[in-house]
Amino acid sequence: MSYKHFTGVWSLKMGNLKFEELETVDNIKDVVKNLFDVELNISGGWGYNEHSALIVHDLSMPIEQFMNLFATLRANIEMNLTLDSDKRYGGITVQFEREENHSIENKKLIVATFKISAMRETDYAQFIKEYKENYGKKEFDLADHFKRRKEQTLTRLMDYWFIKDA
């Protein structure tokens, strides 16, 4: 059985970008701990589809908070940590859009869709610098600043597949 899956193609007026899915790892719990110093009782895959769903064994927080945390971690790995410094993205934010529950082969899956926004790390740093140096000055056009930021921001909808084992 197949469900609609967001592929991770980013929309931007200049064209489409595609980020590579993360490779399968033997111990996702250790990878997350080593990269972010976050202890999560998890196993499985990166949650790209029903075959690579992230298995959640135990929760120390509400499931919604956990899913948001994991979406943030994966997005940062995909868009920043695994890329060359000149291709990295910053200002990465995730926003919950919706959740669906599915049963596939006797497994109960949660599919959470997140809207992910980001911009090139160099552009993001320049916008932050501009804002800090000019905020409050009469000649600083705040509306234009945020308009230009929005134009440089990439957005996509991504599905994250979870199996709650707890």
In the prediction, which pLDDT does 17 show? 63
**Could you give the CA distance from residue 74 to residue 145 in angstroms, rounded to a whole number?**
29
- Domain presence at residue 148: no
Tell me the H-state helices in the chain: 28-36, 63-76, 121-134, 142-152
- Domain presence at residue 127: no
In the prediction, which pLDDT does 74 show? 96
In the prediction, which pLDDT does 165 show? 80
- Reported as a single tens digit per residue, the pLDDT across 38-49 is 999 999 999 999
Domain of 59?
9-122+153-164
Here the tokens at position 163 are: 């199996």
pTM of the model: 0.84
Number of neighbours of residue 126 by Cβ within 10 angstroms: 13
Number of neighbours of residue 60 by Cβ within 10 angstroms: 9
- Domain presence at residue 141: no
CA angle (59 as vertex; 44, 90 as ends), nearest 5: 70
Burial string for 13-30 (b: 16+ CB within 10 Å, else e) reads: eeeeeebeebeeeeebbe
- Reported as a single tens digit per residue, the pLDDT across 24-65 is 999 999 999 999 999 999 999 999 999 999 999 998 899 999
**Could you give the CA distance from residue 117 to residue 104 in angstroms, rounded to a whole number?**
30
- Domain presence at residue 54: yes
- Domain presence at residue 145: no
In the prediction, which pLDDT does 35 show? 95
In the prediction, which pLDDT does 129 show? 96
In the prediction, which pLDDT does 107 show? 86
In the prediction, which pLDDT does 46 show? 97
- Reported as a single tens digit per residue, the pLDDT across 100-137 is 999 888 889 999 999 999 999 999 999 999 999 999 99
- DSSP assignment string, 101-116: EEEETTEEEEEEEEEE
**What is the tally of structural domains in the chain?**
1
- Domain presence at residue 70: yes
- Reported as a single tens digit per residue, the pLDDT across 81-93 is 999 998 999 999 9
Rg of the Cα trace of the chain? 18
